[in-house]
Amino acid sequence: MGFQLFNLLYSICKVKKLKKDSVGQIFSIDLLFALVILAVVLGMSANAIDIAGNKISDYSAGRSMDRIATDTADVLINTPGPQDWEKSNNTLMVKPGLAIDSNSSVNSTKILSYKKINQLKSRYMELMSNFIPPPGNSYLSIEPTNPSLKEIEVSNETPPAKVSEVAVVNRTVLVSYRDFNIITIIDKSSQLDVCPHYSFNGTSVHNKPNNLNKSSGWICKSFKVTKRDLNSTDFYILTDPGVLNGNQAHWILDRPDSYTEEQEPFSSHPIMINDRISALMGEDNEAVFWLHVFISSDPSGAFVTYVVGVPHGTSSEEVRVEYLNPQPCFLILKVWME
């Protein structure tokens, strides 16, 4: 721009007849140089304005991505989304929430459902487009703090190298990995049930009714199972820790009207008890069962016993103590513009 103005002024000076006296010539040259300097200043100012405009535009875009990423994370973490969205194939205008559905506890809003996470994973691009307008893209992963659990990579997209701005949100959440039902829990702090497996003549394996002193001996809990439960649920006995020290830990499963003295050892693997329950239930449509657990007075041998119900057909490898309670994880969301 400055050079074009200079050429124009120079042409004008050549065409126009200037006075040849020394004073007029000096004035013309001074004017010419002043105009050249002015043209250069104007050119530099225009360039600076362009640079500042680009920086403002980039800053606004970055702030917009930050807002989109934050708002998206808030909806995913703090809301359950539209009712039963994970059961529907509709993705039009559906903003999915990953929180478990609960009307009883405010704290549940940050417990994420594993089933909803998987549904979002299966339709990620379609559902996330309701949060992030084109040409935006995103990456979502859930990383457990427990190293024995696997990372859940909800999206396999990663920001390309050419992208200069990426908005990142990192939130701490709880994830309910599986839809498992804890039927009963037995440990030294368990509330006492009056165990019917006790004989005053001393022939019973129980030397005290339900181990009232809880230093060592038997602790017992009851639970009810129906035929319908048995057809839809697999029942397991788990211990925490999974590997027990010594051989003093044993368990007995029976009914009040069908006692047994047969003790069985615990295992480092989940113990499926459907066959045992079915045999004890017989032709009844429902029955009350008692689990009797022998505990040692040795503090180093302390453990917790669970009876859990899992969906029928669940692999025993998926039945883990870690899945019985929500696990702390990091939810990481990245948003960028292509």
Q: Give Cβ neighbours of residue 244 (< 8 Å, ≥ 6 apart).
A: 266, 268, 301, 303
Question: What is the CATH topology of the domain spanning 181-318?
Answer: Jelly Rolls (2.60.120)
CA 292 to mean position of chain CA atoms: 36
Q: What number is the average pLDDT over the span 166-186?
A: 92
pLDDT-based confidence at residue 49 (cuts at 50, 70, 90): low
Integer-rounded Cα Rg, in Å, for the chain is 37
Q: How confident is the model at residue 33 (pLDDT cuts 50, 70, 90)?
A: low
Structure tokens at 273: 């008890």
Closest to 293 (Cα-Cα) out of 227, 197, 199, 224: 197
Examine the pLDDT at 209 and tell me if it is beyond 50.
Answer: no
Lowest mean pLDDT among 207-211, 269-273, 294-298, 303-307: 207-211
pLDDT tens per residue across span 84-101: 999 888 888 899 999 997
- Which of 281, 175, 266 is CA-nearest to residue 228? 281
- The pTM of the full predicted model, rounded to 2 decimals, is 0.67
Q: DSSP string covering 172-214, please?
A: EEEEE-S--EEEEEESTTPPP---S---TTS-SS-SSTT-TT-
> Of residues 60 and 262, which shows the higher confidence score?
262
Is the pLDDT reported for residue 104 higher than 60?
no
Per residue in 132-168, pLDDT (tens digit) is 988 899 999 999 999 989 899 999 888 888 888 899 9
Percent of the chain with pLDDT over 90: 44
Domain ranges of the chain: 2-58, 69-178+325-337, 181-318
d(CA 329, CA 325): 13
Does 12 score more than 60 pLDDT?
Answer: no
